[in-house]
Amino acid sequence: MTSANISIDGKAADYPVHAGSVGPEVIDIRKLYANTGRFTYDPGFTSTASCESKITYIDGDQGVLLHRGYPIEQLAEKSSFLEVAYLLMHGDLPSQQQHDEFKYLITRHTMVHEQLANFYRGFRRDAHPMAIMCGVVGALSAFYHDSTDIHDAKQREIACHRLIAKMPTIAAMAYKYSVGQPFLYPDNSLSYTGNFLRMTFGVPAEPYIINPVVEDALDKIFILHADHEQNASTSTVRLAGSSGANPFACIAAGIACLWGPAHGGANEAALEMLREIGRPERIPEFVARAKNKDDPFRLMGFGHRVYKNYDPRAKVLGEAATKVLDTLGISDPVLDTARELERVALSDDYFIEKKLYPNVDFYSGIILSAIGFPTSMFTALFALARTTGWIAQWTEMMEDKEQKIGRPRQLYTGSPRRDYVPIEQR
């Protein structure tokens, strides 16, 4: 095993260097504080591996994303969302029998407790779907007590199945509530994605006919959002879970983190930005704003902490956007604006030097909008899909013998010790 020698104040010590199957090695600095009395300082964890994982691998410089070793492009083209969920949870692609059993299990958990509908009715009609999702998913732990013992592997598995199965029902109910239509119960004869489309856009008064192009495009979007290594929301789920919180509470924490515009909320912000730009002639004005240090404006859907190359998911979605709009016969000037913005930004020195490329959020909103989703639902759909990654990562953490409560340290720059002064003497 190689080691790294770190010397401070003339005192040197060796630290083990661990190699993964691919990707950068890591320096194991767990003994650093004991040896030196110093912490490492890494706000935003830009150089810190927080855990060992076998689920997802990203090479940000090459623009590579692998789930359990399989390239995302192959999964998006050949697989289905439920199969990818199985892959993330179990480590390998399922046999036909395993696939059928998994589908049966997920399908049998799609309904939610009838009383959960009362939670929705407590929200304002104009509540953001992500606000509803945070509340309702967290509340699941109050309904499914038989799957909250995190030390029981069977209960953990049932909780995971419940979360994958119920997220479409919960997200569709959030949409139905916002438009004042009745909730629709799941139809278990449909595919995972088809069932979600029907619960969202169907009404009890007439049959809902699923458009296979829309079903396929949405399934692809779900696959592309299923997992993404130790991103902010996944790290939040792991951190929440590290204290022993139940999985429903942990996923609610992940949803809260995903909501932010620097993370999952960027898909909503990207489409709003493209609509605000409106037409290709206005692009230079917005590109100039994005480059101006004194203007907080950023090109939404551009840039990524890890990808310093084209986000492979954006490539798949860019192509899917054209196909979906063509097939649905929709001509949306926003797609032309997006394509031109991408062209202008990718030939601009500012974006080239900083290695800023379109990310997954740049094109997804255009497709979701063409399907008929309001922008406020975009991040809820992201949460629905990412739940599979969150629970796979949470399960992996629960089975990890090295797992400890997550507890970072800090560089304290506040006041040193001082004595309390009574209010009349201040």
CA distance 165 to 110: 5
| Beta carbon nearer to ligand ACO, 285 or 402 | 285
Q: What is the largest CA-CA distance in the chain?
A: 79
Q: Residue from 58, 214, 266, 334 that binds ligand ACO (CB under 6 A)?
A: 266
* Least gap, CB of 112 to ligand ACO (angstroms): 27
Position 55 contacts ligand ACO (CB under 6 A)? no
Asked if 109 is an active-site residue, the reply is no
Is residue 5 within 8 A of residue 14, CB to CB? The reply is: yes
* Least gap, CB of 236 to ligand ACO (angstroms): 12
Stretch that binds ligand ACO, among 63-71, 117-125, 150-158, 260-268 (CB under 6 A): 260-268
Position 226 contacts ligand ACO (CB under 6 A)? no
* Least gap, CB of 343 to ligand ACO (angstroms): 16
| Beta carbon nearer to ligand ACO, 150 or 232 | 232
Is 2 strand, coil or helix?
coil
Q: Residue from 58, 197, 320, 360 that binds ligand ACO (CB under 6 A)?
A: 360
167: closest CA among 257, 252, 230? 252
* Least gap, CB of 354 to ligand ACO (angstroms): 4
* Least gap, CB of 234 to ligand ACO (angstroms): 11
Asked if 361 is an active-site residue, the reply is yes
Position 268 contacts ligand ACO (CB under 6 A)? no
Q: Residue from 203, 262, 288, 330 that binds ligand ACO (CB under 6 A)?
A: 262
Stretch that binds ligand ACO, among 110-118, 135-143, 168-176, 296-304 (CB under 6 A): 296-304
Is residue 364 within 8 A of residue 315, CB to CB? The reply is: no
Q: Residue from 224, 290, 320, 335 that binds ligand ACO (CB under 6 A)?
A: 290
Position 359 contacts ligand ACO (CB under 6 A)? yes
Is residue 67 within 8 A of residue 315, CB to CB? The reply is: no
| Beta carbon nearer to ligand ACO, 99 or 291 | 291
DSSP 320: H
Q: Residue from 301, 312, 318, 365 that binds ligand ACO (CB under 6 A)?
A: 301
- For every residue of 242-271, which 3-state class applies, written as one string? HCCCCHHHHHHHHHHHHCCCCCCCHHHHHH
Residue 290 CA to chain centroid, in angstroms?
Answer: 25
* Least gap, CB of 67 to ligand ACO (angstroms): 15
* Helix 361-371 / helix 266-277 crossing angle, nearest 10 deg: 80
Question: Which residues touch 96 (CB under 8 Å, ≥6 apart)?
Answer: none
Q: Residue from 263, 316, 317, 318 that binds ligand ACO (CB under 6 A)?
A: 263
Position 308 contacts ligand ACO (CB under 6 A)? no
Is residue 169 within 8 A of residue 194, CB to CB? The reply is: no
CA distance 63 to 60: 5
Position 166 contacts ligand ACO (CB under 6 A)? no
* Least gap, CB of 275 to ligand ACO (angstroms): 16
Pairing relationship of beta strands 11-18 and 56-59 according to DSSP bridges? unpaired
69-75 long-range contacts, Cβ below 8 Å, gap at least 24?
Answer: 71/312, 72/223, 72/224, 72/312, 72/313, 72/316, 73/312, 73/315, 73/316, 75/223
Position 379 contacts ligand ACO (CB under 6 A)? no
Place of tokens 């309702």: 136
Position 230 contacts ligand ACO (CB under 6 A)? no
Look up residue 169 and give its two tokens. 């029902």
| Beta carbon nearer to ligand ACO, 185 or 297 | 297
| Beta carbon nearer to ligand ACO, 324 or 341 | 341
Instruction: Give backbone dihedrals phi and psi of 96, rounded to 5 degrees, phi first.
Output: -55, -45
Is residue 198 within 8 A of residue 208, CB to CB? The reply is: yes
Position 312 contacts ligand ACO (CB under 6 A)? no
Question: Which residues touch 114 (CB under 8 Å, ≥6 apart)?
Answer: none
- How far separated are the first and last CA of the chain, in Å rounded? 60
* Least gap, CB of 291 to ligand ACO (angstroms): 7
* # residues near ligand ACO by CB under 6 A: 18
Q: Of the listed 219, 227, 311, 361, which one is catalytic?
A: 361
Q: Residue from 84, 245, 300, 381 that binds ligand ACO (CB under 6 A)?
A: 300
CA distance 360 to 378: 12
| Beta carbon nearer to ligand ACO, 142 or 352 | 352
Pairing relationship of beta strands 11-18 and 3-8 according to DSSP bridges? antiparallel
Residues with catalytic annotation?
A: 304, 361
The site for ligand ACO (CB under 6 A) is made up of: 262-264, 266, 290, 298-305, 354, 356, 359-361
